[in-house]
Copies of this chain bind each other. A is one copy, B any other.
């Protein structure tokens, strides 16, 4: 059985450990064995100490009371602090850096009985400059970024679940490219204490998983509510098909995936109608660069002052752009973004959910770039919860996800509709 434990869902692992079907140690061992066989190809891990992981698993096995995530191995993006493992931010500046405390989300996982397996590869400071990770479906292609290692590790069955962060598209893009579920909750849902910022008005802690119930299991542990599986919605949803003004820039496989999903949802009983964003939303793409650059320059004031040469040329350019931006322009951009938010956070004109592209298409060839964040970033700016589902494949047989978006704080509804959508698209 050991060789299969790494492919189980987090819910099945927690259940099996709690009822004694297998041990947490056996699960961790299975994950470590699988990593050993695949890591040279995938390169998902920045820090991994098998003995440290196994010690945690044995402690879970020895504990009398099993938590709701007993024995579940979790991957942690390497911009998220861990008190017992270095946290390198994907940058030589923080090589070997050892935080004093766990990030809130890490402490919450431990409290629930999870095993912090190791630290997953992040792009430099959760930005655009990638490191060593490749796409598990085709190692010549990017896994996406910046949560590259977390998405690749979950896709490759190295761990059932992992933490990512999204400021532009850093959870949903790699999840789509790697063929898993990527979930960015409503802004401010999960604590960011102990997570290195990128742009403070946009940063969101997100989750990578292979099952919706695993998303809910982690959410429940962090939001301190009892876990209940994601249940069917009572009636098919009203779906707004939101192609966005960037539709023509997407590749045919994205057009095909979205059209097919819309048709499948309609066939399953949903009312699907076109949903157009007001014209001023077209500005959000341009505003994003300005807001991101301005806030990056804030966040990284210390690194800029003391370690500028250790930053990538790309990051230096982003920060310099922020430093060159007048405050007035930044505030104007914030006002416009907030006005757009106010128009979408309460409702989508009667739609329960929006169906919208997750990515331009399949993961691009090459490891030097991580793909375009445009289709994910629009919704990050709006603070709405979004999820990508691995429903389709492109011309090369690689995953092409779809994206569902719900109004602000309608996260639980989003998960229910996502479950219904997975069934409809089967």
Q: Please state if B100 and A94 are interface contacts (CB–CB under 8 Å).
A: yes
Let me know if A200 and B191 touch, CB within 8 A: yes
* Pair B225/A326 contact, Cβ less than 8 Å: yes
For chain A, residues 144 to 198, give those with C-beta under 8 angstroms from any C-beta of chain B. 188, 191-194, 197
Q: Which residue of B lies closest to A111 (CB)?
A: B305
By beta carbon, the residue of chain B nearest A225 is B327
In the complex the two chains form, is A101's CB within 8 Å of B299's CB? no
Contact A107 B302 (CB under 8 A): yes
Main SS at interface, chain A: helix
Give the residues in chain B near A59, CB-CB below 8 Å: none
CB distance from A284 to the nearest CB of B (A): 18
Count of identical protomers in the assembly: 2
Contact string, A375-412, partner B, CB cutoff 8 A, digits 1/0? 00000000000000000000000000000000001000
Q: Which residues from chain B contact A304 at a C-beta distance below 8 Å?
A: 107
| Residues in chain B near residue A328, CB distance under 8 A | 225
**List of B residues within 8 angstroms of A224 by Cβ:** 297, 323, 327
A302 and B188: CB pair below 8 A?
no
Instruction: Give the docked Cα–Cα distance between A301 and B103 (Å).
Output: 8
Number of interface residues of A (CB under 8 A): 42
**A interface with B by C-beta (< 8 Å):** 83, 94, 97, 100-104, 106-108, 110-111, 188, 191-194, 197, 200-201, 223-225, 295, 297-306, 323, 326-328, 331, 335, 409
Please, how many angstroms separate the alpha-carbon atoms of A335 and B408 in the complex?
Answer: 11
Measured between beta carbons, the chain B residues less than 8 angstroms from A107 are 301-302, 304-306
**B295 engages A191 (CB within 8 Å):** yes
Q: Decide if A101 touches B191 in the complex (CB within 8 Å).
A: no
Nearest chain-B residue to A109 (Cβ)? B301
